[in-house]
Amino acid sequence: MLVGWGHAAAVGVSDPEPLLMADVNGRPFLAHMVELLRNEGFTRLLMLVGHASAAAREYFGGGEARGIRIAYASGMESLPPAAQALAARSILDDHFLLLHADTYWPMRFETMWQEYAESGALAMTAVYSNRDGYAVDTVKVSGGLVELFDPTGQSSVHGSGVGYSIVRRDALNLMLSQDGTVESALFPALIERRALAAYPTEHRFYGVNTPERLARTRVFLSRGAAVILDCDGVLNPKPSPPAYARSVAEFEWLPGALEALRVFRGAGYRVIVVCPVRGQVSVGDLEGIHDLMRRGAHAAGGGIDAIYQCPHDWYAGCECRKPRPGLLFQAQRDFALDLTRTVVLGADENTMRAAAAAGAIGRFVTPDLPLVTQAREILLLRSSA
């Protein structure tokens, strides 16, 4: 378990502790967690990681070299996480972030904090929708509140707890026991009081509590560079609404678009394209347009790794039509993207709203800032970082 406060955080875990220091792309998994918290503005971190404390202390020390102050729960290594958190409450701020040390979720903390503050709840926990059956369903959400928490996964619920929660320190006094995890001891009491808010997410989380998940996490944290491109106004001229290119004959490349794809491919970027078609294009014509785009990109020295489309009408209420971010999350799942580090390039406000809803980085493409100019700027920013 990790606890962060002032912007501060606390981390703890009850799963196989040696995996916390497992090598993930050249450094321990916990180092990725510490980096995440520091980048989100946390200044203090309390590690409640049981018998992994000695190895963590040896590697991180007091955190001075990592830009965050790190403390350890000395003498409590054998206690359950709930007991450790209760014993440490005197050094926590009035509100703190509690997260599992074995789970990486690329959060946008400020957004979660704003929703927590507005909710008035004693705690808020991140809940993955789990529409894809990726994890075990442990949480039922209704009306923005957690209605049921079953860590065994035996109940009929639809949602998976991520293991990241903002907690008011006073709420720790409500824990029903000091056995097991903080969630199992605290959440039932909060649910009874209707005081546990849910923070929904469609972004997958990653962990190291099994060798299989560790392998998947290594892929995710390798963070292969990727960009997501809208079509209209980015790759092809933006037509007058409500029209779209409906056939190969109607499709044309914007000046510099193919050069931008070559620039991205030369820098090792995945290029993912999302296109709305509003039900106006036949399947055959759509496949023809996509084939034309792929062949054109390849001939120019670039490439397109995937094309996602929303075939629904504007009023269908689907999750894949911008400003909803459904297609961005589909790409995240398929390519193990970290959307918080992925640039989405579009030519309209709805694309920017979809990017923001996904926690991604939105950038406008305009006649004055065409795709090829944006591509070179993105590569320059990446090299300077």
Catalytic residues: 230, 232
CB distance 52 to 41 below 8 Å? no
* 160-168 and 123-128 beta bridge pairing: antiparallel
Q: What Rg value do the Cα atoms of the chain yield, rounded? A: 23
Strand blocks (E) in 224-356: 226-230, 270-276, 306-310, 343-346
CB distance 175 to 186 below 8 Å? yes
User: In angstroms, rounded to a whole number, what is the distance separating the alpha carbons of residues 324 and 336?
Assistant: 20
Q: Can you tell me which residue has the tokens 């990017």?
A: 355
CB distance 321 to 73 below 8 Å? no
Nearest Cα residue to 360 out of 229, 264, 221, 260: 229
Q: Going by C-beta distance under 8 Å and a sequence separation of 6 or more, which residues neighbour residue 76?
A: 48, 83, 84, 87, 88
Q: CB-side exposure of 154: number of CA atoms within 13 Å?
A: 1
106's tokens:
């690329």
Q: What is the dihedral of CA 108, 109, 114, 115, to 10 degrees?
A: 70
- Please provide residue 343's backbone torsions phi and psi, each rounded to the nearest 5 degrees: -90, 130
CB distance 174 to 191 below 8 Å? no
Q: Going by C-beta distance under 8 Å and a sequence separation of 6 or more, which residues neighbour residue 204?
A: 128, 134, 332, 333, 336
Quickly count: other Cβ atoms within 10 Å of residue 289's Cβ: 25
Nearest Cα residue to 360 out of 375, 343, 347, 348: 343
Please give the single-letter amino acid code of residue 345.
L
**Which helix (H) or strand (E) covers residue 145, if one does?**
strand 145-149
CB distance 174 to 182 below 8 Å? no
356's tokens:
């923001």
